[in-house]
Chain A
């Protein structure tokens, strides 16, 4: 721990803000480059079709057009991207012989400006042979379903059947068994800044430089390099100073890095492509839609014994890395907050004629907790017990941490009952139940919902290999995958000011502010005296394949690296000072930005030490490396590869969320009004409470969007129905709800500062808590929410059909 925590824990205003507030932010579209040309992408209007031919001759003749790239170029100059499954899916950066979803890139025009490039698109003639399409993942597995990838032989990209414990015995012993089918929709966080890539190829050094608002994981750097047939050290990936939001979505930009890189290599000019909103909604990335079947075995006293689950994850036309993460990212927390020991999971990852999927805030956890928390409520209803009491009876207890889940997760710390009770208290749960009684007596539809979640952060890169059969992972010569690391450097300039260098790629999380707070405490100085640089450049930063700003990483792994680097530097400063003072290091104490002799009052400030070290290198003691800087690479010790029983600690820190929501439903219009929403979080030590609350507000609204408004809908023929913000409904300030937020603090024993990630936060719980609240409100009608989003039209139909049955 730092000697004193003066800055950590304070809601400091962000150092990032002034630039952004006056319009001086530098986003990818704002950057200037020499010899800049602009790309536009021709996209498939068909969900599934064979490309017979492409005639781009008229487009090439258009003045201002400097080149056109088609699938033939991709087939010649690039390779398919590596995929995380055994199925031999050939996923190129653009369609080569077939298109498999509406919006798939078919050709790229490079021209002197974007207007002309789009004009040229209109002149390209593509001869398609339309094929029948399939969008439903269960239907796609039928023997007569249209086949997307002939070389795969079926639309199943990956299948795993995994058993922990003895679920069959648990189900045989159960007093209560519940089963349900759930549908989780396809939605994405649609950052207001779309994708942007600028690529230029230097023929003298053979280096392709790509600027992109990409935020990791940087495993996609080698994957992109290999797809472009480039050695990894010939692909320079630079992230702009500012990224306009991602929420996981910008992971899906890597195929465009390859596509625009290909265009730059072919045309020899610098190529800039800024995705437009239509392209974004049709063909960037979204969360995975899922059909899930779940069974729960329990005793009449509410004890959950086991679950069985089978799901069909719809990854769209091609399985794109890091999918099938939606199936396996939460493997360590598949048991949620509960103590049951037996689970059978049957994961089916299916390709259909929809756009491609990937991480979206709460990756896979929105799905998981929608299912688990609905099941817990169904159990409560079945046995006639208050849903709060059922949860109490099943929580992992505070004395059990660190807690190893049957699937290998290692929950680092927590006090689930305390956080849960705090949420109930804050919401006045008993009072809400009384209001409900009154409301029901008056014929009103008033409901109270609960949901809890174990909030995983910092993915262990090893989890994804669970997609492979243990038989493969057990073969001699198989190279296991594991780990989660982040690096930071802290250095002192010749006048004693501090610069911190990060390899992260934030999209609004305030890394500069937070790291300045941390370093300030570690070195006993003020955050204003620290400059933080966080612009990722694969040629200059220290990074690993897990690097990047995703899976709520920074709050635990990034801050740990920064604190460690600062401590390492402080230790060096102390040793240097003790040498100059001619005393043993033990008699020197670092505080208030200087080295203090424990007894005689002698002080050497940071400035003194910097001056000596920089201007008089001779003063550095023998055996000490010159230079006042320290780099730390923090890697989690528990991020190991999956074992042959499919157990893996899929994340590294695990927070906790407990929520209560009260709603009232208009019986005439089926409109849902949220009356109260309480969320209690345990993210360990909190470094900047303002930033933490901002993440919770934002995460909750993403959950609300997915639960009520947002859906990337398709018709049966695979036509996308939400190609604009007129049809893809992002919640506005008017739809956002008031939130009562509270915290419980269970420091993580695995991070330097005890902090955990919380960037995904309530995005993973709102679908569950809302579905539970709405179901509870509609108890008089017997309506159960099994499918999202709960649109007024859908809800009214459910209510009508329930009314007609009564």
Chain B
């Protein structure tokens, strides 16, 4: 068995450290070692996108990374999306207003992917939103509410900038 290694990274603004076997998946470390269970596991092979986080600001699958690879990185999970005072992020607010979630299981991954999408393309067309969100699977909503929400959030974020 490989020696446990130290890992330390910034997550949602706070530095967290731990010791882990090298094979431990980043998503397991985030959920089990750090207790941040908002990031979900849906397939463990990079297709469903439920585990999507922002890794150094960019959306990535946390089931396809080892925890040790996050050493020194900056990570944002769904728990870090709202403002410190609890004000929802425009995407969260728009998801709420547009009935963009039902069971809520894919929602964290969907939000993180949408964050990245709007960062690289602040005014996406509906087609671009659908293409961008095809990175995350949802089985409840038929995606319509999600697409509407991302569009609304994009409008709001642009007008507030």
- Which positions in A face B, CB cutoff 8 Å? 11, 13-14, 16-27, 29-30, 115, 189-194, 242-245, 247, 274, 276-277, 507-510, 690-691, 693-694, 696-702, 724-726, 730, 732-736, 738-739
Contacts and interface: CB of A to CB of B under 8 A. Distances in A.
Contact of A115 (B21, B96, B105, B144): B21
B11 interface: no
B42 interface: yes
Interface residue tally on B, bucketed by range: 35 or more
Contacts of B135: 732
Given A22-B88, A24-B38, A14 B142 contact: no
Given A13-B97, A739-B144, A734 B102 contact: no
A738 B37 CA distance: 33
Given A22-B78, A725-B48, A730 B139 contact: yes
B82 interface: yes
The 9 A-B residue pairs with the shortest CB-CB distance in the complex, in nearest-first order: A23-B38, A244-B105, A697-B142, A20-B104, A508-B103, A508-B102, A732-B134, A725-B47, A30-B37
Contacts of B137: 192, 725, 730, 732
A277 B44 contact: yes
Nearest to A18: B96
Contact of A23 (B78, B99, B129): B78
Contact of B104 (A190, A242, A730, A732): A242
B79 A23 contact: yes
A693 to B, nearest CB: 7
A191 B105 contact: yes
Interface in B70-118: 77-79, 81-82, 88, 92, 95-97, 99, 101-108, 111
Given A690-B99, A725-B45, 19 more contacts: A17-B96, A23-B37, A23-B38, A25-B105, A27-B37, A29-B41, A115-B24, A193-B40, A243-B103, A277-B43, A509-B102, A693-B99, A694-B99, A697-B143, A726-B47, A730-B48, A732-B133, A732-B135, A733-B129
B88 A16 contact: no
Interface string B121-161: 00000000111011111111111111100000000000000
B97 to A, nearest CB: 6
A508 B99 contact: no
Given A21-B95, A509-B102, A691-B99, A247 B45 contact: no
A276 B44 contact: yes
Interface string B10-52: 0000000000010110000001000011111111110110100
B99 A733 contact: no
B142 A700 contact: yes
Contacts of A29: 31, 37, 40-41
A27 B40 contact: yes
Given A694-B102, A733-B147, A22 B95 contact: no
B67 to A, nearest CB: 12
B66 to A, nearest CB: 12
B47 A23 contact: no
A18 B96 CA distance: 7
A69 B106 CA distance: 33
A29 B39 CA distance: 11
A724 B130 contact: no
A724 B48 CA distance: 11
B42 A192 contact: yes
A247 B139 CA distance: 9
B104 A244 contact: yes
Contact of B79 (A22, A27, A696, A699): A22
Contacts of A25: 38, 104-105
Nearest to A25: B104
22 contacts: A21-B101, A24-B38, A27-B37, A30-B37, A191-B105, A192-B139, A242-B103, A243-B103, A244-B103, A244-B105, A277-B44, A507-B102, A508-B104, A697-B142, A698-B102, A698-B140, A700-B142, A725-B47, A730-B139, A732-B136, A734-B134, A736-B144
A247 B140 CA distance: 9
Nearest to B99: A690
A245 B139 CA distance: 7
Contacts of A16: 104
A20 B107 contact: yes
Contacts of A242: 103-105
A25 B38 CA distance: 7
Contacts of B38: 22-25
A697 B139 contact: no
Contacts of B101: 17, 20-21, 508
A739 B140 CA distance: 15
A511 to B, nearest CB: 11
A733 B146 contact: yes
A24 B135 CA distance: 23
A702 to B, nearest CB: 7
A723 to B, nearest CB: 10
Contacts of B23: 115
A192 B48 contact: yes
Contacts of B129: 733
Given A20-B107, A733-B147, A694 B141 contact: yes
Nearest to A193: B105
A501 B92 CA distance: 28
Contacts of A277: 42-45, 48
A214 to B, nearest CB: 14
B106 A192 contact: yes
A36 to B, nearest CB: 10
A22 B81 contact: yes
Contacts of B40: 27, 29, 192-193, 244
A292 to B, nearest CB: 27
Nearest to A13: B96
Contacts of B37: 23, 26-27, 29-30
Nearest to A194: B42
B1 to A, nearest CB: 9
Contacts of B134: 732-735
A701 B143 contact: yes
B24 A245 contact: no
Contacts of A11: 99
Nearest to B77: A23
A17 B45 contact: no
A193 B104 CA distance: 10
A193 B48 CA distance: 10
Given A694-B145, A697-B141, A739-B142, A17 B95 contact: yes
A741 to B, nearest CB: 10
B5 to A, nearest CB: 15
B128 to A, nearest CB: 10
A245 B103 contact: yes
B26 to A, nearest CB: 14
Contact of B92 (A21, A247, A508): A21
Given A192-B42, A192-B50, A725-B48, A507 B95 contact: no
Nearest to B111: A21
Interface string B41-65: 1111101101000000000000000
Which of A193, A699, A702, A733 has the most CB atoms of chain B within a 10 A radius of its CB?
A733
B102 A193 contact: no
Given A21-B101, A507-B103, A734-B131, A724 B143 contact: no
Contact of A697 (B36, B45, B136, B145): B145
Contacts of B42: 192-194, 277
Contacts of A190: 139
Which of B21, B43, B142 has the most CB atoms of chain A within a 10 A radius of its CB?
B142
Which of A194, A509, A698 has the most CB atoms of chain B within a 10 A radius of its CB?
A698
Contacts of A274: 41
Given A20-B104, A23-B78, A244-B105, A698 B99 contact: no
Contacts of B48: 192, 277, 725, 730
B140 A245 contact: yes
Contacts of B111: 21
Contacts of A191: 103, 105, 139
